[in-house]
Structure 1
């Protein structure tokens, strides 16, 4: 296999970087495969102390989103909001957000990035932490979407009796999202807030 000429990036030529761009294309195309493989891996381990696996938590969250009529960005965001747990348990929310950020609306990436601090509303008091730490974002345009995401889809999805959709249901959505052009302004829609779907009365 042909390789670059340099041993330090600063010495690379245009030909070197053209070679790398071409060589990386198959790796980029396989991003969805790696995401799905990580979800399957998370299905092998029960979250420490919880009644379900990490994958099942993602499936339940995504199923709730799907059944409420959420669009593909929200559904995939809900499915992958904890994808970073395995490698970055202390900052999994930010890690997970960076995985999806190039391919979904800015609103969805922001919500995934901040869901950890918003979730503290439900448990922080038991550790003598600030359960209202999320209030520092109260003027942010995505505040309500994140609060709703946590209340309706995330914190409610630890139920071993909930009948969620299978991973196969969501696989085409994951592939569609990760097949998008990275950072496409038409997809990212910075500063656009649509919120979660309205609940039926």
Structure 2
């Protein structure tokens, strides 16, 4: 059996030639790298400070404001972190940023939350679609989804309203522990995904 190289790398140049020992090494390295995901996401959020221009606040401030509103509504950690990260894909996937954010969150949060983040772009059209030649009622095709009302609320209370330079927004450091908590969870665990479960966005 071929062992990994002394420098901590594998010897193969084609994946089909790798040995169990080499893939065990890669698995250990991947686990170690994955453990740093939360910090990489927080760093990526900071880049939104220099992102898309034209609004009265930066994309980072929009993300922080969305998360602040979610917390003040009494939402749980999954919703707050989703509100914080929902536009994290703006710089890398400007035409499908919602899908990119959803795919980042998917292994770590309730399926309900992932669905809402994945579809928030089309739900947002309700507020401006008629001004850009798009259908403001496009979201109606998802009317039968059990998550439809949650997506409406997410956009109404946290997303479309969070462009206010005068709103008292909490800093990224406030949300960092929540991000680390979420991304330290076991991935794809049923107890995390909770298929069919729904949690209120607004505390009673």
Among residues 76, 93, 105, which one is paired with 2:110 in the alignment?
A: 105
Among residues 18, 28, 41, which one is paired with 2:34 in the alignment?
A: 28
Alignment-derived partner of residue 55 in structure 1: 60
- The secondary structure found in structure 2 opposite 1:169 is helix
Shift of 1:6: 1.7
Runs of 4+ displaced beyond 6 Å: none
Alignment-derived partner of residue 120 in structure 2: 115
> What TM-score comes out, normalization by structure 2 length?
0.93
- Answering whether residue 148 of structure 2 is matched by residue 143 of structure 1, we say yes
- Answering whether residue 174 of structure 2 is matched by residue 169 of structure 1, we say yes
Alignment RMSD: 1.2
The structure that has the greater radius of gyration is: 2
- The secondary structure found in structure 2 opposite 1:49 is coil
> What TM-score comes out, normalization by structure 1 length?
0.95
Unaligned stretches of 5+ residues in structure 1:
none
The CA distance in 1 between the partners of 2:166 and 2:136, in whole Å, is: 28
1:144-168 CA distances to partner (integer Å, 9 max, x unpaired)?
Answer: 0000000000000001111111111
Q: Please show how residues 1-201 of structure 1 align to structure 2 within 5 Å.
A: 1-43=7-49, 45=50, 47-198=52-203
Shift of 1:15: 1.3
The CA distance in 2 between the partners of 1:82 and 1:159, in whole Å, is: 16
Say whether the 8 Å CA contact 2:51–2:91 is kept in structure 1.
Answer: no
Q: Count residues with an aligned counterpart.
A: 198
Shift of 1:46: 5.3
1:13-56 CA distances to partner (integer Å, 9 max, x unpaired)?
Answer: 2112101001122211110110010111212x253210111110
